[in-house]
Amino acid sequence: MIFSHLTRPPPPGYTRGMRIIQSVGAVYAAHLSNPQSDIGHYLPFLREHGKGNILEIGVRGGASTAAFLLGLDVNGGHLYSVDTEDCRVFAPHANWSFLQANSRDHETVFAFVPAELDVLFIDGDHSREGYTNDLHTYSKIVRPGGLILSHDIDTSSNPNYTIENGYPEAPSEAIREEYFKFAVDNRYEHYQLPGKIGMGVIVKE
């Protein structure tokens, strides 16, 4: 995963492939206070629901990772993060395991995570195919009553920045379509959190 979202800049001094060990609290605070961050609006929600076994697909600069870890410090549990890039931006943390892999490598990812999840957070491959792979594959191991969280389900705040408009690392307009189709087809309770780019919340029944 590359630092490519225009509204989510890399940490100061970052160059591709470079690892920077940062403070969990500092990363959380920086994104929370940055009005240009496309995930800052959602960090308190992620922190509140940081409990139990969590699979995070897509780490990037570690904003969602930091939010989950702060929640786990209080609530208990473990965060399992997967990204195609080496995103170990934090020092070793007792509640965090990181796997550098493609989430389409199902055998590797299933061997890495526990048999049951409390939370699935999807913010990885933003193409239709990548998103549906993550959603349909890993939602199967979310427990009844667990949460399936999808970032980037609403591109209306920046409609020109999409895969369809020539930005290969941007969200696809199809993510919203696939998110709602999945929720409706399975008759799952779901809602959208207010904020940039959209965060969909599905309660698995």
Residue 122: name the closest of 74, 182, 163, 70 by CA.
182
pLDDT at 39 over 90: yes
In a domain, 117, yes or no: yes
Average pLDDT on 117-132 reads: 94
In a domain, 12, yes or no: no
| pLDDT at site 21 | 59
Pairing of strands 189-193, 77-83: unpaired
SS (H, E, C) the chain: CCCCCCCCCCCCCCCCCCCCCECHHHHHHHHHCCCCCCCHHHHHHHHHCCCEEEEEECCCCCHHHHHHHHHHHHHCEEEEEEECCCCCCECCCCCEEEEECCCCCHHHHHHHCCCCEEEEEECCCCCHHHHHHHHHHHHHHEEEEEEEEEECCCHHHCCCCCHHHCCCCCCCCHHHHHHHHHHHHCCCEEEEECCCCCEEEEECC
In this predicted structure, which of 2-6, 54-58, 90-94, 143-147 has the lowest mean pLDDT?
2-6
pLDDT at 4 over 50: no
Total number of domains constituting the chain: 1
The pLDDT-based confidence of 103 (bands split at 50, 70, 90) is very high
Give the tens place of pLDDT for each residue, 128-175.
Answer: 999 999 999 999 999 999 999 999 998 777 777 777 777 777 778 888
In a domain, 20, yes or no: no
- Rounded to the nearest 10 degrees, the angle between the axes of helix 24-32 and helix 63-75 is 120
Residue 89: name the closest of 40, 27, 42, 151 by CA.
27
The pLDDT-based confidence of 13 (bands split at 50, 70, 90) is very low
| pLDDT at site 91 | 78
Q: CA 3, CA 11: separation in Å to the nearest integer?
A: 9
pLDDT at 5 over 60: no
Q: Which CATH number characterizes residue 88's domain?
A: 3.40.50.150
pLDDT at 187 over 90: yes
The pLDDT-based confidence of 44 (bands split at 50, 70, 90) is very high
In a domain, 52, yes or no: yes
In a domain, 164, yes or no: yes
In a domain, 8, yes or no: no
The domain containing residue 166 runs over which residues? 40-203
Average pLDDT on 50-58 reads: 98
In a domain, 51, yes or no: yes
In a domain, 120, yes or no: yes
Average pLDDT on 68-94 reads: 94
% of the chain surpassing 70 pLDDT: 89
pLDDT at 15 over 50: no
